[in-house]
Every structure is written in structure tokens, then in C-alpha cells.
């Protein structure tokens, strides 16, 4: 547990309450919820090896897909087995947000009848999407985003070759969002900033609308930019402060924070519909570009 950067209060809460059988750890994606859960499992089993080699630990990862009832049934079977080497049998579900309705019902029964010496750790990126019946049967533990120094330290540890300061501007407080595609995401971020500073051309627009970055990350990057703009209007220094042209535009045009809030909602709704109805990605990206052009 000592290797985890940040989340001191959460670490203490876990290690001082090992009698609790059902945990629901929630917070923004990329802040280290799963990492905390994995280290807690190692702490409980006193296992020096990787979690993936631990016979008393079952990890159910959504891998960006829905978790169905079969995986939940496997959890029940696993929990009723005799422990192989350690005191506890532990299940980590990352994330509970991805369960089907049938899977949720099956999970509820497991939570109601959790076997002795079993610990279930549920992870959620959006607590409000977790059914109340699930929440009521778990000890909820909320994690905050990491601070700037912690964010940069995690990025530096995991990706020593990257400019960790630049990357932390894209994913402030959520270093777990950084993966092997980060160079593309940096390019997208810089292209979007060039739109706001009116320093773009047709090639930049083409690169944006043909990106293969996932909608989830596109949305995150866009909302980070809009949020930073709102902070600048309110006099809070952000990574955008170094863009003098952009800051001057904000001051000269007297951009309203309420307008930015509406634009944020517009971005969220557009991407939500795009994912739900499988809309053409290029068309969606073009609409997002138009939003950015008229953002300020």
C-alpha cells in the first residue's frame, strides 16, 4: 500500500477496516481506484507476487465491454471455494458501471449472502449510476483526483520518456487515463487549442475529424479545455495561462461562464448520442469542431 501515490485517507480506511466484506470505491476514471484495490488485495493476502498469480483473487475487468450474468455466476462459484493459501478470497469488479440488469440482480444476491472470509471490491466511475440497492450493501469509499504533483509523479513513474508536465495538462488529476496512445492525444489537445487561438488550417481540421481516439477520451479532453477556460475567466491559473492570445481573447470578448457550461452540456449530449446510436464519427467530430470554433 505504501507504493500508492496519494489517497492517504482511503488507504488508512481500508487497512483499518479489514472486517468489512463489501466495498464500493468510486471516483473519476484514471485516479487510481483499481490500483488501490489491487494493492489492498495484496495487503490482505500478504502476497509478494503479482495479483494475477494470486489464486485467492479474482479480477473481473470490463475491458470496455458489458459484464454479463455469466461472469457474476463465476464470482459466486469462486467465493465458495476453499481459500488456496491465504485467509481471504477477494473479488475485484472493475467496473460495476458495466453490469447488465440481470448481472446486477445476481450481484445483489452475492452481496446479501457474502461467504465468510470473502471480500468484494466494486469499482465505479460514476456513483450515481450504481443502483441504490447495490450501494446500500457496500461501504462506500470516495477517491478525489490527484493533485498536480501527484499526477506528474504517477506519469513520470509509468512513462519516464514523456513530458509529464504536458501530459498532466491533458489529464489533470487522472494519470490513469494515460496509455500507449498518449502521443495522439497530445496532438489532438494541441490541435483543439489551435482552434481556440485561431491558428488552425484545413490540415488541422482534417486531423481532428479523422482521429481514431475513443469518444470517451475525446470528451474528456474537450471538457478539460472548457473547464480550464471557465477557471481562467474566474481568475484561476491553469495550463491555458501560457497561451497569451487565448487569454486576451477571453478578456476582450468577455466570455460568460454560463455559456461555457452550456457548451459543455452540448459536447456531452452530442457524444452520448453518437455512442448510443452509433453515429458517423467524422460527422460527429465535425460538429465538435464547430462547437470549439464558436466557443469563445
Rg of the chain over Cα atoms, rounded to whole angstroms, equals 22
Dump pLDDT digits (tens) for 214-226. Answer: 999 999 999 999 9
pLDDT (0 to 100) of residue 60: 93
Residue 83 pLDDT class (50, 70, 90 cuts): confident
Q: The sheet that has 89-94: what strands, in order across it?
A: 57-61, 89-94, 118-124, 22-26, 139-142
pLDDT (0 to 100) of residue 49: 60
Residue 16's DSSP bridge partners are: none
Place of cell 470473502: 118
Percent of the chain whose pLDDT exceeds 90 = 77
Q: Taking 60 as the threshold, does the pLDDT of residue 50 lie above it?
A: no
| CB neighbour list of residue 214: distance below 8 Å, 6 or more residues apart | none
pLDDT (0 to 100) of residue 276: 81
Surface-to-core class of residue 88, CB atoms within 10 Å of its CB (0-12 exposed, 13-18 middle, 19+ buried): middle
Of residues 172 and 82, the one with the higher pLDDT is 172
d(CA 268, CA 248): 27
Amino acid at each position: 500500500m505504501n507504493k500508492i501515490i496519494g489517497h492517504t485517507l482511503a488507504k488508512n480506511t481500508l487497512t483499518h477496516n479489514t472486517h468489512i466484506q463489501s466495498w464500493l470505491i468510486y471516483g473519476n476514471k484514471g485516479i487510481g481506484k483499481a490500483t488501490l484495490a489491487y494493492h489492498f488485495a495484496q495487503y490482505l493476502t500478504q502476497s509478494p507476487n503479482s495479483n494475477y498469480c494470486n489464486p485467492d483473487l479474482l479480477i473481473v475487468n470490463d475491458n470496455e465491454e458489458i459484464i454479463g450474468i455469466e461472469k457474476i455466476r463465476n464470482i459466486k462459484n469462486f467465493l465458495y471455494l476453499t481459500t488456496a493459501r491465504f485467509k481471504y478470497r477477494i473479488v475485484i469488479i472493475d467496473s460495476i458501471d458495466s453490469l447488465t440488469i440481470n448481472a446486477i440482480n445476481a450481484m445483489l444476491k452475492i452481496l446479501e449472502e457474502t461467504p465468510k472470509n470473502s471480500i468484494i471490491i466494486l469499482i465505479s466511475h460514476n456513483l450515481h449510476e450504481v443502483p441504490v440497492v447495490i450501494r446500500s450493501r457496500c461501504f462506500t469509499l470516495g477517491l478525489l483526483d490527484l493533485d498536480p504533483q501527484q499526477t506528474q509523479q504517477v506519469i513520470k513513474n509509468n512513462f519516464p520518456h514523456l513530458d509529464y508536465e504536458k501530459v498532466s495538462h491533458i489529464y489533470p488529476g487522472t494519470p490513469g487515463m494515460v496509455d500507449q496512445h498518449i502521443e495522439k492525444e497530445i496532438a489532438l489537445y494541441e490541435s483543439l487549442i489551435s482552434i481556440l487561438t485561431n491558428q488552425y488550417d484545413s490540415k488541422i481540421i482534417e486531423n481532428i475529424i479523422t482521429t481514431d481516439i475513443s469518444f470517451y477520451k475525446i470528451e474528456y479532453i474537450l471538457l478539460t479545455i472548457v473547464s480550464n477556460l471557465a477557471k481562467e475567466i474566474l481568475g484561476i491559473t491553469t495550463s491555458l495561462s501560457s497561451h497569451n492570445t487565448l487569454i486576451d481573447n477571453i478578456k476582450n470578448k468577455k466570455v460568460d461562464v454560463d455559456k461555457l457550461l452550456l457548451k459543455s452540456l452540448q459536447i456531452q449530449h452530442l457524444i452520448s448520442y453518437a455512442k448510443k446510436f452509433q453515429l458517423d464519427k467524422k460527422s460527429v467530430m465535425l460538429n465538435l469542431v464547430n462547437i470549439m470554433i464558436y466557443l469563445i
